[in-house]
Amino acid sequence: MNSGERESSFGSLHKSVESLWSGLRSPGNYYQGTGYLPFPVPENILLFYRNRFHPGNLGAETSFHYRHVLLFNLARAIRIFLDGSIVHLHRGEGLLILPYQYHRFINEGQDRLSLAFLTFEIPPTICFERLRYSPFAYTRETLQLLDETGRAFLDGSPGTLCCCAARVLSHIIETSHRRETPLHQRYHGETLIGEILKTVYHEKTRTVEALATKLGYSGSYLRTLFRKTMGQSLGRFMIEVRMTEAMRLLSRGNSTVGSIAERCGYESIYSFSRAFRSFAGESPSQYRKKRKTGGSDP
């Protein structure tokens, strides 16, 4: 665009703004306006994309943490293990994962993924609670807002990026309030991998042998299936589930270390503390001191 074209474009925008503003009525009250944001502005924003599973470099620190994770499924349906439940996310849907929600993506042989992630930090708010465990449909307007957000991220414009991310969240909240019918008829059957995930998560099963007995399969079969599907060993997952539950309780509650150890299936504080230090690299007390947010246990 040459200087003449830029000047002409600027002039057109100038006239458009003048025409719009000149049609506004004088306010009856100069101290009472409209518009508000029901949640704090998101900060420390990261955008990234996944087109395949990355089991080798995604551990517990990416499955359980204090950040919000907003994701959009741009391709075929996937399933996500979220706090002991299986969430089906179809193409054209998004999901907001709240802080300290344990989540893992289930690899069921998809030849291609297309997931857009927007992660951020925000002070505690109840505004997003209606989105917990609830996929939402995104629209053409949602995609336009995501496009603007992505450009602000690439341009290195932090102020604009925060505003764009807030617009995305506000749009999702507004449109989710308008939706009255379910997005899809959800599949109510369950695969063996789903049974493994939910049994370990809810019952805090301590050994593969105990799990095999309960589900009626051999331990070696369950180990092979789990590693192929989830990209980690079944034994490691069992430890991770118990440790992330302990981390959640330490971060947000006031329970004693002893009661947390008992809730997570440990017979003594000593064995729990030793396992926790091995997993997290610090003692339960050290972890609580760094992460505690002042919430209460459920």
The domain limits of the chain are 43-178, 192-291
Q: Decide: 42 and 165 in contact? Cβ < 8 Å.
A: yes
**pLDDT confidence band for 93 (50 / 70 / 90):** very high
Q: Is 188 exposed, middle or buried (0-12, 13-18, 19+ CB in 10 A)?
A: exposed
Residue 153: count of CB within 10 angstroms of its CB: 19
Q: How far apart are CA 152 and CA 129, in angstroms?
A: 27
Average per-residue pLDDT for the chain: 84
How far apart are alpha carbons 77 and 75 in whole angstroms? 7
Question: pLDDT tens digit string along 230-269?
Answer: 878 899 889 888 888 898 888 877 889 999 998 888 889 9
Residue-wise over 36-58: b if at least 16 C-beta within 10 A, else e? eeeeeebeebebeeeeebeeeee
pLDDT of residue 188: 45
The more confident residue out of 297 and 9 is 9
Q: Is 1.10.10.60 the CATH number for 192-291?
A: yes
Q: Where does the pLDDT of residue 224 fall: very low under 50, low under 70, confident under 90, or very high at 90 and above? A: very high
Distance set, CA 201 to CA 102, 167, 204, 237 (Å): 10, 35, 5, 9
Strands of 103-106's sheet in order across: 85-89, 78-82, 103-106
Rounded CA Rg of the chain: 24
How many percent of the chain have pLDDT more than 70? Answer: 87
Stated pTM of the model = 0.73
Select the more confidently predicted residue: 19 or 109.
19
Q: Domain 43-178 carries which CATH code?
A: 2.60.120.280
pLDDT in tens, 138-153: 999 999 999 999 999 9
How many Cα atoms within 13 Å fall on the side-chain side of residue 148? 16
Task: Read off the pLDDT of residues 42-62 as tens digits, 9 standing for 90 and up.
Answer: 999 999 999 887 654 444 556
Same fold, 43-178 and 192-291: no
